[in-house]
Amino acid sequence: MSAAISIRQLAVTFPGGFQKPAVTALHPLDLTVERGAIVGILGPNGSGKTTLLRVLAGLQRETTGLVRVLDLPADATLVRQRVAYQPEGPLPLAVLTGREFLQWYGCELRLADAVADQRAAELLARFQLANVAQRRVRTYSTGMQKRLALAAALLGEPEVLLLDEPTSGLDPLGSGMVIDVLRERAQRGTTIVMASHHLQEVEQICSTVLALHAGRCVARGTIDDLLGTGDRTLTVRGLPDSALNGVAEDLQRRGGELIDSGRVRQHLFAWFRRLGSGPNSGPQS
């Protein structure tokens, strides 16, 4: 099976104007994304993440290079329907209710009304927006708009999902929900390319990472390739401190080096998730 996304020597330069120099947003870049992969694009602001996504979405013309999405040019009409793009920022048509927004988007995707309605109902329920589906989008919080945006992006059952900061502005529960949905979609074969500043989330779900800086690729590979050191760690539970000291001495006798020693804490996210799950299940001191 061919790659979902194939980029060869892609470069994007925004032309200058009066007292405005030309800006190279992306220097020549190669990238291949296999079907079903989840690729995270990392980088500081202005590094070219959004430009790369817009090129893949067919919204930005490449200055040089070749971009193929699902074996077709990125701006082909067929690709536009098989590839969903969730841009960053507020949603358009905020005068519509959440349900109407999804119905409108389904219409633009040329989905049959019945299909769009059914999928909209499922997605609103999945993203816990069913109870606010009749409210106008402009009354939604940032997090609700983000979830609705992802619901819209998923409405057409896309083969490739391009997401620009899908979890920014979401609380931990919301971003956990989004990550769960993205994992489900990836397991069903959807290729996902997401730009994010949330390194922890990228680490959680992305199989491959591309790091950009000033429009250049500075690192790429699997999470293990990039973060793994080859060392193994040992986590111990149930021993008193005195016994642990004995273990440490034994390790040193065997030629090992004790790098770190401390008490294991649960993650803040797990604590927050319990906090949000009900009044009687809050964190215990």
| Residue numbers at the binding site for other proteins (CB under 8 A) | 54, 57-61, 75, 77, 80-81, 85, 87, 89-93, 95-96, 100, 104-105, 107-109, 152
Kind of pairing between the strands at 64-69 and 72-73: antiparallel
Q: Which residue has the tokens 């999405």?
A: 69
**Residue with Cβ nearer other proteins (77 or 235):** 77
- Give long-range contacts, CB 8 A cutoff, 24+ apart: 248-251: none
**Residue with Cβ nearer other proteins (48 or 58):** 58
CB of 81 to other proteins, least distance (A): 8
**Residue with Cβ nearer other proteins (120 or 211):** 120
**Residue with Cβ nearer other proteins (16 or 221):** 16
CB of 184 to other proteins, least distance (A): 23
**Residue with Cβ nearer other proteins (108 or 184):** 108
CB of 113 to other proteins, least distance (A): 10
CB of 282 to other proteins, least distance (A): 37
**Residue with Cβ nearer other proteins (120 or 209):** 120
Q: Return the SS3 of 150.
A: helix
Which are the contacts of 180, defined by CB distance < 8 A and separation ≥ 6? none
Strands (E), 93-154: none
CB of 96 to other proteins, least distance (A): 7
Residue type present at position 267: H
Task: Give the closest residue to 210 by CA, choosing from 201, 202, 219.
Answer: 219
CB of 168 to other proteins, least distance (A): 14
Q: Yes or no: say if 9 and 28 are a contact pair by the CB < 8 Å rule.
A: yes
Residue type present at position 139: T
Q: Half-sphere exposure (CA, 13 Å, Cβ side) for 155?
A: 34
CB of 264 to other proteins, least distance (A): 44
DSSP letter, residue 117: H
**Residue with Cβ nearer other proteins (34 or 88):** 88
Q: Half-sphere exposure (CA, 13 Å, Cβ side) for 177?
A: 22
Which are the contacts of 42, defined by CB distance < 8 A and separation ≥ 6? 49, 195, 196, 197, 199, 202, 209, 210, 211, 212
CB of 60 to other proteins, least distance (A): 7
CA distance 143 to 169: 6
**Residue with Cβ nearer other proteins (169 or 276):** 169
217-238 burial, b if ≥16 CB within 10 A, otherwise e?
A: beebeebeeeeeeeeeeeeeee
